[in-house]
Amino acid sequence: MHLSLLQFIIIIASVIFFLFWVDLYKRKKANILHLIVFIWGSFLLILFSFNMNALNNFGSFFGIARWADLLVYISIIILAYFYITLYNRNIKDSQQVTKLISTLAIEKWYEEEKEKIEKYINSNFKDEFVFNIRVYNEASMLEQVIEEIIDAWFKKLVFINDGSKDNSQEILEKEKERHPDCIFVILTHKINRWWWAANQTWYKFIQTYAEQLKVKWFVWFDPDGQMDIKDMDTFISAIQKDNWKYDAYLWSRFIKWWSSYNIPKSRKKILTISKFVTKRFYGIKVSDPHNWYRVIDIEALKKIQLTADWMHYANELNEQMQKNNFKTKEIPVHIHYTDYSLWKWQKNSNSIKLWLQMIYQKIFFR
């Protein structure tokens, strides 16, 4: 029997499909979907390669007139499957890189600074708060933000220098020398890994060394000047009034009219949509789901396990709080939107990326 070039290609494809199945089986990664795609796919390809009429009949069952069209559609589905599989593997590899970068940053700092934190004595209630600040090329605002925090009598600061290419590291070192009475934790990522990696480094560090740092509350803070340190008075007042009964206090730009008066209209629309999407995908009802200014009890923080290595990290945190039954309370804050902060971090295009990644994470990532 003479084989056409097309039949030969189909037979080779079926053999490759079967070998994929063997590989997955040996690595104990095979599941029912792989069985359907690779084993039955190989069988059908072999069958169709020798009997084109069977392919036509198979196509007609789905309302497809030509067998060639069916092959095109099947190829698209297979390519989509392989794309998702490869993308999943890429994400997992990226997560491993982040873990390595985080571990190296923490180990290096602790060997150099462990004696200082062991000798530090808390002098007031504010010493129970540790500020966590991710730094990436923030030289223009960094010094001002640090001084505002210290002037408000907060003396424990953890910085993730996330592979900055400007002189952010020099500014951090200079500020550390200027304030010997403060604890400056400078954890350096050798390469830029973005916000989500900073989260993992913070959490791992605080979960490990909170007792030595003598802290009870974890505070997120931005170095771009959009957050107001005076809002910490509102957080602290709520904590004391509530008698420590909440696990997490979350900022909200929508509780009071003055909280959201300067938000760009396009941003308000995006945040409204994100609130709906977060409720649908994660079952969490909050007025401002993609917030950053948060204060979380350290013991509650220890229950959180983050793996996000892309932009949906805020939703993963919300999901973790839901999973661990956190008691949360929203706090109105003053957010100062500036041309600098909008240009650097608050691009509307980031919201579109976030939604796409969130959908991918919930439906396709395994």
167-189 per-position pLDDT tens digit: 999 999 999 999 999 999 999 88
How does pLDDT run across 74-108, given as a tens digit for each residue? 666 677 777 777 777 777 777 788 778 888 888 77
Mean pLDDT of 223-241: 92
Query: How far, in whole angstroms, is CA 344 from its chain's centroid?
Result: 18
The reply to whether 98 falls in a domain is no
Is residue 125 located within the same domain as residue 167?
A: yes
Q: Which domain holds residue 112?
A: 104-363
The tokens of 126 are what? Answer: 């504010």
Using the 3D structure, point to which of 90, 122, 138 is the last residue of a domain: 90
Q: How far apart are the first and last CA of the chain?
A: 44
Is residue 32 located within the same domain as residue 152?
A: no
Is residue 113 located within the same domain as residue 45?
A: no
**Residue 182: its pLDDT value, please?**
92
The reply to whether 64 falls in a domain is yes
Amino acid, res. 168: S
Contact 267, 352 (CB under 8 A): no
Which carries the bigger pLDDT value, residue 120 or residue 342?
A: 120
Percent of the chain with pLDDT over 70: 67
Q: Tokens 């794309």 belong to which residue?
A: 83
**Of 224-233, 273-282, 308-317, 339-348, where does mean pLDDT reach its minimum?**
339-348
Is residue 142 located within the same domain as residue 193?
A: yes
Amino acid, res. 306: L
Confidence band of 249 (pLDDT split at 50, 70, 90): very high
Is residue 10 located within the same domain as residue 136?
A: no
Is residue 183 located within the same domain as residue 251?
A: yes
Is residue 158 located within the same domain as residue 304?
A: yes
Contact 288, 250 (CB under 8 A): yes
**Residue 349: its pLDDT value, please?**
59
**Residue 115: its pLDDT value, please?**
72
Is residue 61 located within the same domain as residue 112?
A: no
Q: What is the CATH number of the domain that holds 281?
A: 3.90.550.10
**Of 53-67, 116-130, 136-150, where does mean pLDDT reach its minimum?**
53-67
- Whether the pLDDT of residue 147 is over 90: the answer is yes
**Residue 247: its pLDDT value, please?**
95
Mean pLDDT score of the chain, rounded to an integer? Answer: 79
| Cβ-defined contacts of 171-176 (< 8 Å, 24+) | 171/139, 171/142, 171/143, 172/135, 172/142, 174/143, 175/143, 175/146, 175/147
- Give the Cα separation of 57 and 52 in Å (integer): 9
Three-point CA angle 167, 94, 278, nearest 5°: 95
The tokens of 102 are what? Answer: 């985080």
Is residue 135 located within the same domain as residue 205?
A: yes
- Give the Cα separation of 170 and 178 in Å (integer): 12
- Whether the pLDDT of residue 60 is over 90: the answer is no
Is residue 122 located within the same domain as residue 181?
A: yes
- Whether the pLDDT of residue 234 is over 80: the answer is yes
- Whether the pLDDT of residue 255 is over 80: the answer is no
Using the 3D structure, point to which of 61, 90, 119 is the last residue of a domain: 90
The reply to whether 119 falls in a domain is yes
The per-residue DSSP string of 167-183 comes to SHHHHHHHHHHH-TTSE
**Of the ranges 65-74, 278-287, 337-346, the best mean pLDDT one:** 278-287
The tokens of 181 are what? Answer: 């009475």
Is residue 62 located within the same domain as residue 189?
A: no
Mean pLDDT of 206-222: 91
- Give the Cα separation of 102 and 93 in Å (integer): 14
The reply to whether 181 falls in a domain is yes
The dihedrals phi and psi of 328, each to the nearest 5 degrees, come to -125, 155
The reply to whether 99 falls in a domain is no
- Per the structure, the count of domains in the chain is 2
Q: How many residues does the chain have?
A: 366
Percent of the chain with pLDDT over 90: 28
Is residue 24 located within the same domain as residue 61?
A: yes
Mean pLDDT of 124-128: 93
What pTM does this model have? 0.72
- Give the Cα separation of 310 and 254 in Å (integer): 26
The reply to whether 267 falls in a domain is yes
The reply to whether 332 falls in a domain is yes
**Residue 196: its pLDDT value, please?**
78
**Residue 67: its pLDDT value, please?**
58
Mean pLDDT of 42-50: 71
DSSP for residue 10: H
Strands (DSSP E) contained in the chain are 129-135, 156-162, 183-189, 217-221, 248-252, 294-297, 328-332
Whole-number Cα distances in Å, 248 to 228, 294, 324, 344: 19, 7, 12, 27
The reply to whether 136 falls in a domain is yes
Residues near 199 by beta carbon (within 8 Å), at least 6 away in sequence: 306, 308, 313, 317
The CA R_g of the chain, rounded to the nearest whole Å, is 26
